[in-house]
Structure 1
Amino acid sequence: MKDATALPRSLLVLGGTSEIALATARRLIARRTRTVWLAGRPSPALDRAAEQLRSLGAQVRTVPFDALDPGSHETVLEKVFAEGALDMVLLAFGVLGDQAHDERDPARAVRVAQTNYTGAVSAGLVAARCLQAQGHGSLVVLSAAAGERARRADFIYGSSKAGLDAFAQGLGDALYGTGVHVMVVRPGFVRTNSTAGRPPGPLATTPGAVATAVELGLRRGSETVWVPGALRPVMTALRHLPRALYRRLPL
């Protein structure tokens, strides 16, 4: 059985245009990764991402994937796994939504939940089954510190990430001892194009910093990774703060 915590030679990215995912792929290519699958909705952005990774020396292929079409997930992922064993699946798709608008439009709020949670449940279960069938590999799930405790400013997004986080932790427990390693990554505010114009938090980070943390977590065989690490005690304190006090915070 292969070591599930070694850096991967082959990588499947679910959410192939994610800035965090691409930063992670670049870092892993610089270390050991030689084959990359980028799964996402067909677009010029997906094609550009593939070309960028090819320029780093990796063999890169794209595959159509839609988080909002769970009926297709089994077919798409099994097709990729049929091409050869995969050492790592990075579940990196998600949307922030717009809290002010989404509160007034339940359909928009549901779309956030379906993308971040139900879409991830579907893809995560299929990926886990494929990894377990081959007997090794890592499933890395991009969660968020926002899922640790819902905030007034983004409770729709936060609740979807809370569901994803609990799902991934439970999946990791279910797969313990099978040779499949599940790692949950909880970044705080990440400076990306999708967060441009939003006020960053005091512990804001970058896609590159998240990529570094993912690599370190894989080397250590970590099950949970906070980015930056200082978020762990901060969010632990906030999680246990009495609700009456929590409501007074400018969050």
Structure 2
Amino acid sequence: MSQRVLILGATSAIAHAYARRKAAEGASLVLAGRRADALQANAVDLRARGAAQVDVVEADLADIASIAEVAASCRANGAFQEVLLAYGILGDQAQAETDLALARKVIDVNFTSAALWLLELLKGQPATQPLTLLVIGSVAGDRGRKSNFVYGSAKGGLERFVEGLQHARAATATRIVLIKPGFVDTPMTDGIAGKGGPLWASADKVAGDIAKAAKSGTPEVYTPWFWWFIMAIIRNVPRVIFHRTNI
């Protein structure tokens, strides 16, 4: 019997790169996201790449009021052994500092709805039934920085939430993995000035690191690996010095 995999935010570049890897393994996939045309196009591609079955669920995953209903639709054909939570938005930091509606959207999409999705996915999950939850966070959550603290605080909150879930589920068959990408070359980051260079990774590179983490069950993974060292330095710079930087 093929592995059943749910991908939340299936039209993102990282999510689709990961879905291609699962399709090649013969997995049954459920693709959830907002853009019906992109979901259907991805489904065609994944079937051609070997997926046993591909179903599509069109929904606004950040709509908090509909999470339980959408989750039920996703589970219509059976339980999942693996879930990738891959949706999110960057937002504009400068605008978010004065536009409270935008700030709330960035926080609700990247933290509130994501946290509630994780609770919904774990609701009633038997302690002995294997389930792997792969949650895409960000290195931006490691320390508050003036360049992206609205987005970064939401990802930082998600990290603490995942850490708590890992503790709560430590004695069960549920594995929860936090994926922390650095700069990734995707349409989501097209608005970042100076995009490109050695610190930037492809969506496929990140998808490969997610696949390794899914197999190993490592609780936290920086991708590419060198971001662990970069963020260790940033986290440990004394505040009096850090406040003089422009990052």
RMSD: 1.8
- Secondary structure of the corresponding residue to residue 229 of structure 1: coil
Query: Does structure 1 residue 50 correspond to structure 2 residue 43?
Result: yes
Residue 43 of structure 1 and its aligned partner are, at CA, apart by 2.5
> 1:90 & 1:130 partners in 2: Cα distance?
19
- 1:54-133 to structure 2, matched below 5 A, reads 54-58=47-51, 59-129=53-123, 131-132=125-126
The answer on whether the counterparts of 1:87 and 1:138 sit within 8 Å (CA) in structure 2 is yes
For residue 44 of structure 2, what is the amino acid of its counterpart? E
Deviations 1:210-235 (A, max 9, x none): 11101111222211110011111221
Residue 202 of structure 1 and its aligned partner are, at CA, apart by 5.2
Deviations 1:115-149 (A, max 9, x none): 00001011111112254477111000000000001
Identify the residue that residue 40 of structure 1 maps to in structure 2: 33
Residue 51 to residue 186, structure 1, CA distance change in 2 (3 Å): same
Residue 87 of structure 1 and its aligned partner are, at CA, apart by 1.1
- 1:130-141 to structure 2, matched below 5 A, reads 131-132=125-126, 135-141=129-135
Residue 185 of structure 1 and its aligned partner are, at CA, apart by 0.1
The answer on whether the counterparts of 2:26 and 2:50 sit within 8 Å (CA) in structure 1 is no
- 1:19-34 to structure 2, matched below 5 A, reads 19-30=13-24, 32-34=25-27
- Secondary structure of the corresponding residue to residue 180 of structure 2: strand
2:9 to 3, 12, 15: 15
Q: How many residues align?
A: 243
> 1:240 & 1:216 partners in 2: Cα distance?
28
By relative contact order (CA 8 Å, sep 6+), the higher-ranking structure is 1
For residue 75 of structure 1, what is the amino acid of its counterpart? E
Deviations 1:92-137 (A, max 9, x none): 1100001122212111111000100001011111112254477111
Identify the residue that residue 239 of structure 1 maps to in structure 2: 235
Deviations 1:66-100 (A, max 9, x none): 23322221122133334112110111110000112
The answer on whether the counterparts of 1:39 and 1:63 sit within 8 Å (CA) in structure 2 is yes
For residue 228 of structure 1, what is the amino acid of its counterpart? P
> 2:63 & 2:163 partners in 1: Cα distance?
23
> 2:134 & 2:62 partners in 1: Cα distance?
20
The answer on whether the counterparts of 1:144 and 1:188 sit within 8 Å (CA) in structure 2 is yes
TM-score, normalization by structure 2: 0.92
Query: Does structure 1 residue 157 correspond to structure 2 residue 151?
Result: yes
> 2:11 & 2:232 partners in 1: Cα distance?
31
> 2:128 & 2:33 partners in 1: Cα distance?
24
The answer on whether the counterparts of 1:102 and 1:108 sit within 8 Å (CA) in structure 2 is yes
Identity of aligned residues (%): 37
The answer on whether the counterparts of 1:11 and 1:33 sit within 8 Å (CA) in structure 2 is no
- Secondary structure of the corresponding residue to residue 17 of structure 1: coil
Residue 197 to residue 159, structure 1, CA distance change in 2 (3 Å): same
